[in-house]
Structure 1
C-alpha cells in the first residue's frame, strides 16, 4: 500500500474513508498499491522522481457514484485530483498538484451519449477519447469530423476544459463546447445553458440561456466535476486542399504572420494554421544524435544541412482550405499570392514518404493519430515540458517572442523546438523543452529555463494559456493587474463553492483557504 497520506488525515481515518469509497464504487475500483498508482505519475516531469504522487485512486462509474463519493471526501476532508482521460502530457499528465491527493479518475465514464448529425454535435462523458469518438462516427456512418488534439489518445472533454486546440476549422475546443453537466462539491448537479430547461432539445445547439454564462468557470478550475459536455463537430466538407510552404530564414516568421493575419481574420484560411520550426518538423523522422552529438544547441551550419537533407525550411507552414471546389480554388489564389510572396518560399501539395506531412494532413481533416509522440526520440529519455505563451498573430510580435525564447533556450543549453498555431485573433506559441529525464543536470536545466521564461514573458506582456503543474502558482502570480484581483475572484468563488477545499486544490494556482498560504 502507498505510504503517502493526504495532508491533515491520519491513517485510521484514511483507511475508513477508503472502505466507504469501496462500498460505493466497488473494491476493485479503489487503488492503493504502488503498481497501479504508478500510472498516475507524470512520466515526463521536470521534477525529481518521487514528487507529485498520489495516496490512492478512486474510479466512479457514473454521476450517482460521484455524488456519493463527494460526501465521503467532504466528511474526511480528503483532497482529490479530478481528471477524465489523464493524457495531459507536457503539462503534468494525470499527476496530482501535490503528493498525497486521492485521484478521482473518471475514465470509466466513457459513453458517447448522443451524436446529432443534423445539428453537428456530440454529447460525451469525461473518458471519451478522440480515437473513440472518431471510430464511433465512422461505425455509424456519420459524415461529421472530430477535431483531435495532436495525440489522438487524449480526452475530448479534458482537452476542451484545458483550453486545448486542434487543427481543423473547429480548432478552438472551448469555443466548440456547448453545454455542461457539473456536480458541485456538495453533490448538487447543475446543467449549463439550455440544459437547465427540463427536456430541452437545444442543449447542444446554443450556449446561451437567461442569466450568466458559467461554462468557462469550469475550465482550468476546481469549482466542480464536469460529467457531460457537448461538443460541436464539423460536417465533412465537399472539398479539402491541404498545403505546406517552407521558408528559408528564421526572420521570415514576421512576414509569414503579417501575410496570414488578413487571411485568418477573413476566414480565407479557416483552420488553425501552424508554423512549425525546423527541429520540431524533422524530429518526426530522425534524431539529434544523427546530426550532432555535442552539448548545447545545434550549430547553424548543421541546421542548414538538416533543412537541405529533408527539403524543409527554418519555418514550415501548414494550413488547408475547405468547401466546394470552386470556392477553394478562388480562395487559393488569395493564399498563393500572399504566402508565396516571401522570397525563397516553396509550396508543397504532396510529399512522399514524409511522416510529418502525413501527420499534419490527417490532423487537418480530423483523423486522430499518435505521430507527434515520435518526436520524443529527438533527444531520448522522454522528458518534455511545454511553455505556451499567447500573443496576437502579428509578425513583429511573433518574431520578438521567438527571439526572446530562442535566446533563453540557447543560454540554458537547449535547442529551440516550437510552433506557432494561429486562431482567429490569437496565436498559441508552443515551445517544447526536451530533455533526458535520466540526466539530472539536463532535467534541472529544463526546470530553471521554464521558470525564467515565465517571468520574462510576463515582463514583455505575454501570459501562458496553459501550464505544467509545477508552475501553476508562478504563472497565476503573473496575472497581477490590480493586486491580483482576478485570482482574488477565483479564491472567493472557491471558498463559496468548495468550502472544505476538496476539489483539486492548487489547480491553476487556485487554493482553498486552509492551504492558501502555501500556494
Structure 2
C-alpha cells in the first residue's frame, strides 16, 4: 500500500501529524503495510448489543441520543473493523488484539463537543442502563487502545470535538487542555506562540492525548517525566451527571487552578486516575522552563549481567538528581528492532533469535556490540552540564568495558537522535518502528515496578527471559528509571493474524504477572484483558483495596454504567457473573448477563 500523502496533518485534524514529521510518518506507515498480511475485513457486521438491554430498546435509545447530539455525532458500529495504524487508528476496537477481534468491540461511538454534551450522554446512559466507555484519543496502544472492556459498550470519543487548548500561561508555565489535545498539538502551539522559554514533556510517541496519558499515569523523559505529578486541576463529569472541579477549581473565580493542585480538604484527583469513577473533560498541566542548554549522552555495556552493577550506580545518581531525567536502559535486541526491518532480515528460524546473531549484527553497526544501552540527558548551561557529566562518566566506567558513545559518530537516522529530541520535549514518531519486527505487528506490555537495585533488575530480567524462551518469543526489556523506583517495560511483539502467536503472548504475560507478584513486583499499568488479574495481585488484607474501590464505585455509579471493569473494578450489576478475565478463566471477555440496577433519580 502506498503511503503517499494520506497521513492526516495536524492542521487538518486534531489527531494528525505535524508537517515537519510528515515524511517520517509516511515512511512508518509504508513499513507497516509492507509487512501486513492480514486482509482488511469487508464482512458486513451487525452492531454488538450490550448485555442487559433489548436490541429494539438499544436502537430506540440511540435515536434519542442522535436527536440530542446530532445524527453525525452518533455512529453505529456496523461496519467492517479496520485496524489502520498509529496515526489512523480505530475508535471501535483494539487494533492490536490479544483476543479475537470481536471480543472487545464497541456498539457505537459518540462525539460530544463540550462538558455539557458529556453530561447529556451520561444521563442518557443511566436512563437506559447502557455501558459507556470514554476515551481521549484511543492511542493507548499496547494497553487496549480505544476498545471498551465490556463488549457492546458505547464509546465516548472525547477527542474529536473536544480538542481545544484552553489556556497557556507563559508566566507561571501552565496550560489547560481538553482530552483531544495531543503532545504534538501542544508543542506546535507553544512554538507558534514563540514561547521558547517553555518545554512540554512527551512520551515516546507524541500522538497521544495529554489528558489520557496523564490519567493512565504515563511518563515522559525530561525532569517533568511523571505526568500525573505534573498535572494540576481537573474538571470531571461524575457517573450520575454532576460536574465537579478539583483542587482550587472548586473556588469560584480562583486564579491558581493550574498552579496549586490541592485546594482545601481531601485531595480527590487520585480517584479519577486509572479508574471508572468519572470522565475528565479538562485538565491543567505544568510546563517545564527551558533549562538553557541540554546534552544527550549514551553509554554501552558489554554483558547482560552488567545490569546489576549499573543499577547500583544509577540509584544514588538518580536520587541525587545528577541523572536528571527518566532515562532508559534498553536491551541490545531493541537496537536492531527499532530500525524498522522485519526480524527475517536477520534470522528466519523459529523461537527467540539467538544472541550470537544479535551480537554478530551489532558488531557491524556504528554503535558496536553491546548488551545494554543507557540513554540520558544533562540539562543547564555548559559548565553545569560538564560537572554532572564528568561524575556520570567516572561512575559508569567503573563497570569493565563500559564506554561512552560519541554522538558525532552517529548518523542522523540513528535511534539516539530520537531519544535526544524526546528528552528535550520535542515529540517524535520513531518508537513505532519496532512493531514491524513481525508480520501484522502488534504489541502488548508487561510493566512491573521495582526498587532501583541490581538484584531486582536481574531477578526481573531473568524471569522475563526464562518465560519468553518458554513461549518462543523474542525478549524486549527496557528499564525506565524514576527517582526511587524503576519500571521494567517489556514489549511483546506478536502477529495479530496468528491465533497461536496471540495465545503465546497472552499466556506469557499472565505467567509473568503471576510470577512477578510472588516476588513482590506489581504492574503500574496493563492491558484491558489483563486488568482483572493485575488488580487481583493487589490483594493485601483480604482484598481490602478492591473492596474499598467497589464501595466507591457503587456510591458514585449506582447504575454501573461508566467503563465497567476498568482497572478490574466492576460495579455491583456485573459482580459474581463471570466477567473477570484471569489466567484460568479462558478468553471470552463476556460474563453471564447483568443484574437489574436500582432506579436512580435523574
Give TM-score scaled by structure 1 length.
0.98
Which moves more between the two structures, 344-353 or 63-72?
A: 344-353
Q: 3-state DSSP class of the match of 2:447?
A: strand
Which moves more between the two structures, 16-25 or 497-506?
A: 16-25
Structure holding more helix per residue: 1
Question: 5 Å matches for 1:23-102?
Answer: 23-35=67-79, 38=82, 39=90, 40-102=92-154
Say whether the 8 Å CA contact 1:284–1:355 is kept in structure 2. no
1:243 and 2:297 are equivalent in the alignment? yes
Q: What does residue 407 of structure 1 align with? A: 466
Distance in 2 between the 1:98 and 1:462 partners? 28
Say whether the 8 Å CA contact 2:106–2:147 is kept in structure 1. yes
Distance apart, 1:2 and its partner CA: 3.4
Question: 5 Å matches for 1:64-213?
Answer: 64-107=116-159, 108-143=161-196, 144-213=198-267
Q: What does residue 591 of structure 2 align with? A: none
Distance apart, 1:396 and its partner CA: 1.3
Q: What are the Cα deviations for residues 49-90 of structure 1, in whole angstroms up to 9, with x where unaligned?
A: 221111111110001111111111100010011110100000
Distance in 2 between the 1:28 and 1:291 partners? 48
1:393 to 428, 452, 455: 452
Q: What does residue 496 of structure 2 align with? A: 437
Say whether the 8 Å CA contact 2:277–2:556 is kept in structure 1. yes
Distance apart, 1:306 and its partner CA: 2.5
Q: What does residue 11 of structure 1 align with? A: 55
Q: What are the Cα deviations for residues 142-181 of structure 1, in whole angstroms up to 9, with x where unaligned?
A: 1211111111111101001001011111111101111101
Q: 3-state DSSP class of the match of 2:296?
A: strand
Q: What are the Cα deviations for residues 243-292 of structure 1, in whole angstroms up to 9, with x where unaligned?
A: 01011100011111111111110111111011011112221214321211
Distance in 2 between the 1:278 and 1:131 partners? 29
Give TM-score scaled by structure 2 length.
0.85
Say whether the 8 Å CA contact 1:307–1:314 is kept in structure 2. no
1:343 and 2:400 are equivalent in the alignment? yes
Which moves more between the two structures, 113-122 or 27-36?
A: 27-36
Which moves more between the two structures, 340-349 or 224-233?
A: 340-349
1:214 and 2:258 are equivalent in the alignment? no
Q: What are the Cα deviations for residues 345-390 of structure 1, in whole angstroms up to 9, with x where unaligned?
A: 1212412244311211111011111111111112222121111111
Which moves more between the two structures, 248-257 or 436-445?
A: 436-445
Distance in 2 between the 1:113 and 1:374 partners? 33
Q: What does residue 478 of structure 1 align with? A: 537
Question: Which consecutive aligned stretches of 4+ in structure 1 deviate over 6 angstroms post-superposition?
Answer: none
Distance in 2 between the 1:210 and 1:36 partners? 50
Q: 3-state DSSP class of the match of 1:171?
A: coil
Distance in 1 between the 2:107 and 2:479 partners? 38
1:469 to 523, 528, 536: 528
Distance in 2 between the 1:2 and 1:101 partners? 14
1:328 and 2:385 are equivalent in the alignment? yes
Distance in 2 between the 1:154 and 1:398 partners? 29
Distance in 2 between the 1:81 and 1:482 partners? 31
Say whether the 8 Å CA contact 2:93–2:147 is kept in structure 1. yes
Q: What does residue 489 of structure 1 align with? A: 548
Distance in 1 between the 2:557 and 2:138 partners? 23
1:306 and 2:350 are equivalent in the alignment? no
Aligned residue pairs total 519
Q: What are the Cα deviations for residues 312-371 of structure 1, in whole angstroms up to 9, with x where unaligned?
A: 421100011101222111111111111122111121241224431121111101111111
Which moves more between the two structures, 252-261 or 36-45?
A: 36-45
1:428 and 2:487 are equivalent in the alignment? yes
Which moves more between the two structures, 145-154 or 305-314?
A: 305-314
1:280 to 318, 334, 356: 334
Which moves more between the two structures, 128-137 or 346-355?
A: 346-355
Say whether the 8 Å CA contact 2:77–2:106 is kept in structure 1. no
- In structure 1, stretches of 5+ residues that fail to align are none
Q: What does residue 230 of structure 1 align with? A: 284
Distance apart, 1:491 and its partner CA: 0.4
Q: 1:348 to 1:477 in 2, by over 3 A?
A: same
Question: 5 Å matches for 1:243-282?
Answer: 243-282=297-336
1:289 and 2:348 are equivalent in the alignment? no
Q: 3-state DSSP class of the match of 2:79?
A: helix
Distance apart, 1:36 and its partner CA: 8.0
